[in-house]
Chains A and B, each alone.
With several copies, the nearest count.
Chain A
Amino acid sequence: MGCVKRLRTAPFVGWALFSAAGSVNNPGMKLTKEQLLVNYRKMRMIRSFEEKLNELVNSGRLGGFLHLSIGQEAVAAGVCAHLSERDYVSTTHRGHGHCIAKGVRVKGMMAELFGRSTGLCKGKGGSMHIADMDQGMLGANGIVGAGIPLATGAALTCKLKKTGGVAVAFFGDGASNQGQFHEALNMASNWKLPALYVVENNGWGEFTPTEFVVPVRDIAVRADSYAMRSAIADGNDFFDVYEKAGEAIAAARAGEGPTLLECKTYRYMGHYVGDPLAYRPPGEVDRWKNEHDALTGFESRVKADGVIEDMELRRIDEEVVEELSAAVADAENDPVPAVEALYEDVYAKE
């Protein structure tokens, strides 16, 4: 009887697995300067967007439950860099970053978060349901795991309609304990669907450390249950995510079926804005921030390679801040929905 050893996550050191950096190839080889700047801009936008949200909620200007992905920007950017409009993405309660990376405009997102009729969902969805069907963004989702079969269905559409598209489901380590994960991955592998399952292992599900509830160290091993390809990426290293997601998406487009890609990363902020965070050991977050931040890492890499100059990045930083200020100002001035909107959009014809 084969007794499998129980491996547990070594606390705080998810990324240390990659410290040798052997898996990171030269970014210059694959990405043009323009692409690098686009992706830096996306990551910066995600971070600044969410920092702004944090500020807005804490100062009482914004309501609702918001889950921030600060710290995990490289996953969203690295994966979505391979996607275009024919491709689909589904995400979770922590989905702002994936929206931005998929090309959803922050103006519509901000208006949505402010509950305005100009919001992407006319103010009816909010943070947990932001969607943009025009961009193939199948929505944030308030039900942990529910986005996984949605993306699987989108992949089925791509396959049956032969669009050449792929569908990506982003979800957390916690979601990999949901039945929906199991059922959907089995079906996707069985049908060789053009799908990519990206599990962002950020070490926590709400207030519970992943290792308290998941007896395996790597979520990626779960792919074997479905004879599915898998890979592990350093989720705080844009280039590593970019490379591994690229391989998986290419395979999916080539009809070789889906992949489970685990990205080891970390959630800087609380589970939601307002979370007192008393359950988290002090210092844990600082190590990630100081030693393995996605943005800092990207910046030093591209600077070290001499591709990009500091000034270029700082200009982007400023543009992002300006765009966000404008988005907030617009959103605050945009109209609120008419009460009748409450009754609309329940059914196709009313």
Chain B
Amino acid sequence: MAREIPTALAINEALAIAMASDPDVILMGEDVAGGGRREAEGTEEAGGIMGITRGLMTRFGPQRVLDTPISEMGLLGTAVGAALTGMRPVAELMFIDFLGVCLDPLLNQAAKLRYMFGGKACVPLTVRTVTGAGMQSAAQHSQSLYWITAGIPGLKTVIPSNAYDAKGLLLAAIRDDDPVIFCEPKGILFDSSDVPEEDYVIPIGKAAIAREGKDVTLVGMGATVKMALQAADKLAADGIDAEVLDLRSLAPLDEAAILASLEKTGRLVVVDEATPRCGIASDVAALCVDRGFDFLDAPVKRVTAPHTPVPFSSLLESAYMPSADKIVAAVRKLG
């Protein structure tokens, strides 16, 4: 049975289902249990900075919901070691910006152990992490650094655009035998959509058509899918029928879906919250001009953040982020 719940709750539900169905699934992270003097009366577990893991420690116990010190490198490295030896840890990296202090366990350990060991290692690790701007959290708490993890061979990276996908993608990530980075975009965390109560997975590596159209393809991911859909509505008013493709998975990238849509529309705009250099948007554009060359009727435009840090001022932050209007303007430029 489906109810409308926010993405944050859908994530909580996915975690609960995964833990209930597999005793090897454990949660680790800063404040995931949420501290609190558990013995003391009248206190509640906080369940992480976004409250997403609230209730899980109470339900599954402190052995399976581990509050760690503020030690991201140690926490992720420990999670990799646990994954390598038979656990299925779900580690929380509070904000993806903190990759700066803990890239090695992902870059040089989780991503490479299977390969370096000739296929004889398995690292079923999931890393949940909040991404994106929009809350006036400034330059060190607002980045969309998933391009770093997507670029690393051996890792997978997924990003839901709504509550339904969040639940299914997270369950798929936890049950995947490879290390998966699960992004939780700020822009959709508190949006609601219909989510079944049951256990279901959304396959990693497959994009979804969020809106069918024939004139132009808008490729989005995470919070930009919503913007692309809004843009499509605006364009429809002008008689332009836009298809919206939701990548869902940044690595592996569903190249076939991108090319199929491009073949249909001949025009493509890719919309990404991240900065422009070395990102998913460039990869999509590069794919188009390589294997999609014959389908192209117009330049491929990228609507991304500018090549700057994220500013604090809400006015500047709005100017920084992609938007439906910017997408519409980009489509108009295609001529």
Contact = CB atoms under 8 A, between A and B. Distances in A.
B46 A279 contact: yes
A129 to B, nearest CB: 4
A337 B74 CA distance: 35
A154 interface: yes
Contacts, number: 302
Interface string B14-44: 0000000000001000110111110011111
A142 interface: yes
A153 interface: yes
B77 A336 contact: no
B307 A142 contact: no
Interface in A13-69: 63-65
Nearest to A123: B313
Contact of A208 (B30, B85, B97, B176): B30
Interface residues of A, number: 85
Given A115-B315, A146-B109, A186 B35 contact: no
A178 B115 CA distance: 25
Contacts of A341: 311, 316
A279 B44 contact: yes
Contacts of B113: 131, 139
B77 A148 contact: yes
A131 B69 contact: no
B279 interface: no
Interface in B172-222: 176-178
Interface residues of B, number: 83
Contacts of A11: 37
B69 A346 contact: no
A183 interface: yes
Contacts of A125: 116-118, 138-139, 312
Interface in A116-132: 116, 119-129, 131-132
Given A143-B140, A178-B101, A347-B156, A124 B70 contact: no
B122 interface: yes
Contacts of A281: 37, 40-43
Contacts of B58: none
A304 interface: no
B316 A344 contact: no
Interface in B297-320: 306-309, 311-316, 319-320
B114 interface: yes
B311 A123 contact: yes
A336 B313 contact: yes
B236 to A, nearest CB: 29
B118 A119 contact: yes
Contacts of A212: 35, 67
B119 interface: yes
Nearest to A280: B43
B31 A153 contact: no
A279 B117 CA distance: 35
B78 interface: yes
B102 to A, nearest CB: 9
Most chain A beta carbons < 10 A, residue from B71, B140, B320: B71
B79 interface: yes
A144 interface: yes
Nearest to B139: A129
A131 B120 contact: yes
Contact of A347 (B36, B66, B114): B114
Contacts of B118: 119-125, 345
A343 B276 CA distance: 13
A150 B74 contact: no
Contact of B69 (A134, A152, A177): A177
Nearest to A119: B118
A208 B67 contact: yes
Given A126-B312, A184-B74, A280-B43, A65 B137 contact: yes
A121 B309 CA distance: 13
Contact of A138 (B81, B313, B314): B81
A174 interface: yes
B316 A346 contact: no
A149 B80 contact: yes
A90 B77 CA distance: 12
Interface in A131-162: 131-134, 138-139, 141-146, 148-158, 160-161
A121 B81 contact: no
A323 interface: no
Contact of B138 (A128, A144, A146, A206): A128
Given A63-B314, A206-B30, A154 B116 contact: no
B49 interface: yes
Contacts of B135: 65
B316 A150 contact: no
Interface string A208-244: 1100111000000000000000000000000000000
A117 to B, nearest CB: 8
27 contacts: A115-B136, A122-B119, A124-B118, A124-B309, A124-B312, A126-B138, A139-B121, A142-B137, A142-B139, A143-B100, A150-B109, A153-B77, A153-B80, A153-B85, A154-B84, A178-B70, A179-B74, A184-B77, A205-B70, A207-B35, A208-B30, A339-B319, A343-B306, A346-B309, A347-B156, A348-B114, A348-B122
Minimum-distance CB pairs A-B, first 8:
A153-B81, A149-B77, A183-B74, A126-B312, A208-B35, A279-B36, A122-B118, A115-B313
Given A153-B77, A339-B315, 18 more contacts: A115-B314, A124-B139, A124-B312, A124-B316, A146-B108, A146-B109, A149-B76, A150-B80, A150-B84, A153-B89, A156-B87, A180-B104, A183-B71, A206-B35, A207-B31, A279-B46, A282-B42, A347-B178
